[in-house]
């Protein structure tokens, strides 16, 4: 059966010392507990190697927030999937709407990134989600489907089964406007149906689909209680252990 996951995405927050302090504090808070979900923190690149060395990998997984669409070479400023893997990180967030919007990431580029992540044994946390205009124009189901089809549907069923999806409606990110649990569940069920049509029911049922967008300790319980919501990708509320732990414990 699929895994429940609560993953933090720090975005461009925390210097190295702050990040390491958070990681140690979270690891300690989880010690002796048996959360009903895997816990992952998505840190900036520069934190990865140190953070993986201060947490117990069985308690806290570590994720990058991006990787390059090229293997290696003259790509100044880029960080490859192999480099991310060499830090001990096990995951990489790909296709976040902030990267699609501010850094021009297209489905074609994301397809390369996913391929390289998988070749380096990183689990992609692949983000999809519609804008406010797309939802108001009633194209949200279509938009999310295209994002999945364009970047992921060349994968074999075996490779696809390593993907974690994160539905993050752009209008809910950092706005305090959470999708209602009914809106989120409706989209998650739609996504699972798309996966079942392509890869079969078993792969679809085994795929973890996270919700992201103003998820916090007050709404996590209701969201995670929905049958097709398997956890959260958490931005703002992942920056303090006292905010993040109750989300983990919402399961
Ligand atoms: P917020 O939780 O701050 O809305 O961010 C969600 C997000 O973008 C996680 O990737």
For the question of residue 96 being annotated catalytic, the response is yes
| 186 a catalytic residue | no
The residue whose CB lies within 8 Å of the most ligand 1 atoms, and thus the one to mutate among 214, 220, 232, is 214
Distance from the CA of 99 to the center of ligand 1, in angstroms?
Answer: 13
Per-residue pLDDT, 160: 98
Which residue, among 33, 19, 57, has the nearest Cα to 246 in the 3D structure? 33
Helices 181-199 and 140-152: angle between axes, nearest 10 degrees:
40
DSSP secondary structure code for residue 164 in this structure: E
Catalytic pick from 98, 130, 134, 168? 168
Indicate if the alpha-carbon torsion angle 69, 122, 192, 175 is positive or negative.
negative
Report pLDDT for 176.
Answer: 85
49 vs 66, 84, 145, CA distance in Å? 15, 9, 35
Token readout for 189 is: 């069920």
Check residue 177 and give its pLDDT.
85
Structure-token pair, residue 112? 């390369």
- Give me the sign of the Cα torsion angle 46, 49, 53, 59: positive
Q: Give the distance (Å) from ligand 1 centre to CA of residue 158.
A: 29
Q: Tell me the per-residue pLDDT of 55-81, one tens digit each, with 9 for 90 and over.
A: 999 999 999 999 999 999 999 999 999
pTM here is 0.98
In angstroms, what is the span from residue 73 Cα to ligand 1's centroid? 32
Distance 97 CA to ligand 1 centre (A): 10
Atom of ligand 1 nearest to the CA of 96: 10
Size (the chain), residues: 251
CATH of domain 5-249: 3.20.20.70
Substitution site in 129, 184, 218, 234 for ligand 1 pocket (most atoms within 8 Å of beta carbon): 234
Instruction: Give the residues of the chain that fall short of pLDDT 70.
Output: none
Residues within 6 Å of ligand 1 by CB: 9, 96, 168, 173-174, 212-215, 233-237
């Amino acid at each position: 059966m699929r895994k429940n996951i609560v993953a933090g995405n720090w975005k461009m927050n925390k210097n190295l010392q702050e990040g390491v302090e958070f990681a140690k504090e979270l690891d300690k808070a989880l010690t002796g507990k048996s959360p009903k979900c895997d816990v992952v923190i998505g840190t900036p690149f520069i934190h990865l190697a140190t953070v993986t060395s201060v947490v117990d990998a069985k308690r806290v997984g570590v994720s990058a927030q991006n990787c390059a669409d090229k293997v290696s070479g003259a790509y100044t400023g880029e960080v490859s999937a192999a480099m991310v893997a060499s830090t001990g990180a096990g995951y990489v967030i790909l296709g976040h709407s902030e990267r699609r919007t501010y850094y021009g990431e297209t489905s074609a580029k994301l397809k390369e990134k996913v391929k390289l992540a998988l070749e380096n044994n990183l689990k992609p946390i692949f983000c999809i989600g519609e804008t406010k205009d797309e939802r108001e124009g009633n194209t949200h189901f279509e938009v999310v489907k295209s994002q999945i089809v364009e970047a992921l549907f060349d994968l074999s069923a075996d490779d696809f089964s390593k993907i974690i999806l994160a539905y993050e409606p752009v209008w809910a990110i950092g706005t305090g406007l959470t999708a209602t649990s009914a809106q989120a569940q409706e989209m998650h069920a739609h996504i699972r149906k798309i996966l079942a049509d392509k890869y079969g029911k078993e792969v679809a049922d085994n795929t973890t689909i996270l919700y992201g967008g103003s998820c916090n300790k007050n709404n996590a319980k209701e969201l995670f209680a929905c049958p097709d919501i398997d956890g959260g990708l958490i931005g703002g509320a992942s920056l303090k252990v006292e905010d993040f732990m109750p989300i983990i414990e919402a399961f």
